[in-house]
Structure 1
């Protein structure tokens, strides 16, 4: 099934592709912020189109679903959705400082997929993710960090693909932060759970992504 996902990912990115390059999503959606609680305790979701809810109505992305669960359990946290379509780890590193604010208890970093699609050197992706973790630890030393793992299609070659996937668990272990092994687990490669591009989850797909996130986030809260 994952192989099918990879094929869809290659086809779904749109535009021209080659053996060594696939077009990543365009940076065409602005940051959104979702809040539905007046609590001073905040959870920051910092990511790309998967977090922003590309192609969906406002309020259908998984951070909002997480907020709804938090509210139902009366846990007293306010979710901030700082997802931006097209975001890479480099642009994310430059933007992160602007959205870190007092009161954030948990930071979920969901970035890297666009790096992989564009063939960004792996050491740059790793360095940028490390810099973001360092930034959170320095500015919000009490905040918990969750890193969302990602997988990419094999068009960059097996060595690149394999090494890309290991960046996330290795960094999580090194920095002793929590890891979502694969954000799109049980969603990637399933047509009914993805939009027409084969990449971005549908409303139902976002519900499963929310469950994947909650498995790690829930025990922390």
Structure 2
């Protein structure tokens, strides 16, 4: 069984003050963590799938092996596919912070499939959807600039109507628009059959439980498998 390699980076807050109080310690630890990070590819023959996202990808509140990226590696191993999953999720990541760190992540190893899961924190913070769209496009272009042959899978996201229905609708549309204009594959809604269902989410109502991650993994696999 392959290991699920985690990109060690600064853990940020996802719209909850309980995580913010740890940010100072995280900042101090980041430089050391980057120095200690080891290449993720286990053998030259393996191809790499990078899951680049926020706390949903990182598996906030669950063991990394229970998060959907870890479950995808288990599925790949069971089918004897020659792919190595790299979990580059960071709690609290926005599209802006993702854009600032993506180059560091993708230059560390070859990238064959890049799964982009960002934007949820933008929506929770009321960031203009046009800004979110611009950042996601910039991430896609940066990845392709360094790895021209990469397959990119964009995970669509929806948000509760806290900010109003107009905002929620505008936010939802950006993913399909990006997929069409940048010619990337799209998961219409990452949290299909999970979002808003209390039994499948932690008490915060945002992050899936292990059972919820199993459903997310099935959703991701439906769109990822044809790219492998």
Structure 1: distance between partners of 2:80 and 2:41: 12
Say yes or no: does 1:24 pair with 2:31.
no
1:87 is matched with which residue?
93
2:157 is matched with which residue?
150
1:204 is matched with which residue?
211
Q: Which has the higher contact order (CA 8 A, sep 6+)?
A: 1
8 Å CA contact 1:34–1:80 kept in 2: the answer is no
Say yes or no: does 1:178 pair with 2:185.
yes
8 Å CA contact 2:160–2:168 kept in 1: the answer is yes
8 Å CA contact 2:137–2:178 kept in 1: the answer is yes
1:128 is matched with which residue?
135
8 Å CA contact 2:53–2:93 kept in 1: the answer is yes
Please give the secondary structure, in 2, of the residue aligned with 1:24.
Answer: coil
Alignment RMSD: 2.2
Count of residue correspondences: 199
User: Unaligned stretches of 5+ in structure 1?
Assistant: 1-22
Equivalent position to 1:76, from 60, 82, 88: 82
The Cα of 1:33 is off from its aligned counterpart by 9.4
User: Unaligned stretches of 5+ in structure 2?
Assistant: 1-13, 27-32
Q: Tell me the TM-score normalised to structure 2 length.
A: 0.81
Q: Tell me the TM-score normalised to structure 1 length.
A: 0.84
